[in-house]
Amino acid sequence: MDRRRFLTVLGATGGAAAAASACSAEPTEHLVPYTVPPENQVPGIATYYATTCRECAAGCGLHAKVREGRVIKLEGNPESPINQGRLCSRGQAALQGLYNPDRVTEPMARGPNGQWQTLSWDDAIARLQAKVKEARGKGIAFLTGLETGSFGALVDGWMREVGGRHVTYEPLAC
């Protein structure tokens, strides 16, 4: 098929599709209910949660706007002594990380030729256990971004137990 023929066919089918869609009824909409509704949510009304930004080590106070169980907007918490209601562009953009299609959603490890491979949770936990056992007393570092609240405390406590260090990194300064 040459270029001219291709464009002719494309134009004809495109026109036909446009005509068909103009005549047909509106597409069927579906209403999909929850199996178990999330707590404190009313459909159509936003719920606000006070939380902490983890984009850098400052740990600014946030108000997270949640609709139907999904965060849709972050703003600075005016009562936070750190940012007093303000929020930098990185904090504003933190949602992009949450919904990024390329985000890490399951355990991964480097394979023999250095490529990332996904692992099952059971496999990953077993490997971590073996590694920690092997390295205990020789020095362990637990590398995270800023971790606040109970998870941060858990990591700190665990590292004290196994004689390691909790290292937080800050890849970019804002």
Residue from 30, 103, 110, 133 touching other proteins (CB under 8 A): that is 30
Told to check if 69 binds other proteins by CB under 8 A, we report: no
Q: Which is nearer to other proteins, 69 or 78 (CB)?
A: 69
Selected binder of other proteins within 1, 25, 36, 143 (CB under 8 A): 36
In angstroms, the CA 8 to CA 150 distance is: 64
Per CB under 8 A, does 45 bind other proteins?
yes
- Binding other proteins (rule: CB under 8 A), the pick from 14, 15, 43, 163 is 43
DSSP 101-162: TTS--S-EEE-TTS-EEE--HHHHHHHHHHHHHHHTTT--EEEES---HHHHHHHHHHHHHH
CB of residue 101 to other proteins, shortest distance in Å: 15
Tell me which residue of 147, 144, 142 sits closest to 54, measured CA to CA. 147
Contact with other proteins (CB under 8 A) among 4, 20, 29, 103: 29
Nearer to other proteins (CB atom), residue 28 or residue 150: 28
> Does 149 sit near other proteins (CB under 8 A)?
no
State the residue for tokens 């446009």: 18
| Cα atoms found within 13 Å of the Cα of residue 173, Cβ hemisphere only | 0
List residues near other proteins by CB under 8 A: 26, 28-37, 42-45
